[in-house]
Structure 1
Amino acid sequence: MDNYKIEGSPKTQSITFDLGNGVLEIKGRSIPENSIAFYKPLVDSLDKYSSSSKPATTVNVQLEYFNTSSSKCILDVFKKLESIHKGGSAVTINWHYEEDDEDMLEAGEDYQAIINVPFKMVMVNE
């Protein structure tokens, strides 16, 4: 199975999915013109990964900003991860937020309340 990578741009985050090590990283701003089309390849990669997931899967999310349509797609990604977690892989989501960014902290806490996967809130200095 190939790794999955998207380079970031001013409107889209970078995504790196190291399938061999079970590490997914999402960083940057998520305001693509078509969120569903942007996130679909990642969701498809998670579908493939779920059939042969690693014993542990680590997800590092460090978003500066995301729009409403991206929030739904991020939830879809987290739901796929929840399914992988229920299937036996120990999934952990590390939600990084900047010290003074209460909105991003609250967004992470909202996802944490919805998704049955261990979340770690990680404060980072700017």
Structure 2
Amino acid sequence: MDTLIIEGTSKTPKVIFDAEKGELLLEGRSIPENSLEFYIPLMEWLDTYSQEVKTDTIVHMKLEYFNTSSSKCILDFFRKLETISNRGNKISINWYFEEDDEDMMEAGEDYDAIVGLPFAIIEQKEA
């Protein structure tokens, strides 16, 4: 299965989904004009991945900011991961937020409360 790589822009996050390593990364800002259009290829990749999961999966969410329409897509993304987990595959989420960014910390806590996956909420010191 091919690794999905999408270069980040000022409006869309960098995406690296590596099936062999079982590591999924979303990093940057998620404020695309059309969130569905951006997230559909990620969901399609996840559908294929769900049929071929070979290892534990770690998801690294390093988002600086996301808009309301992205938040729905992110929830749908987590729900798909939850389905994969319910089939007996181990999935964990690392939700990163920058020091003093309470909004992003709370967003991670909100997703943690909604989705039945183990979340680690990780504070990163600003460089």
TM-score (ref. length: structure 2): 0.97
RMSD of the TM alignment (CA)? Answer: 0.6
* d(CA) in 2 for partners of 1:55, 1:22: 6
Tell whether 2:22 aligns with 1:57.
Answer: no
Tell whether 2:14 aligns with 1:9.
Answer: no
Q: CA deviation at 1:78?
A: 0.4
* d(CA) in 1 for partners of 2:74, 2:54: 21
* d(CA) in 2 for partners of 1:79, 1:6: 21
Q: CA deviation at 1:92?
A: 0.3
- Mapping for residues 51-90 of structure 1, pairs under 5 Å: 51-90=51-90
Can you list the C-alpha shifts for 1:51-90, whole angstroms capped at 9, x where unaligned? Answer: 1112300000010000000000000100011011111111
| Paired amino acid for 1:117 | L
* Percent sequence identity over aligned pairs: 56
Q: Is the 8 A contact 1:98 1:123 kept in 2?
A: yes
| Paired amino acid for 2:36 | I
Q: Is the 8 A contact 2:21 2:55 kept in 1?
A: no
Structure 1 unmatched ranges of 5 or more: none
TM-score (ref. length: structure 1): 0.98
Q: Is the 8 A contact 1:55 1:88 kept in 2?
A: no
Structure 2 unmatched ranges of 5 or more: none
The aligned residue for residue 41 of structure 1 is 41
* d(CA) in 2 for partners of 1:86, 1:99: 33
* d(CA) in 1 for partners of 2:36, 2:61: 18
* d(CA) in 1 for partners of 2:87, 2:16: 22
* d(CA) in 2 for partners of 1:5, 1:88: 26
Deviation beyond 2 Å, 4+ runs, structure 1: none
The aligned residue for residue 108 of structure 1 is 108
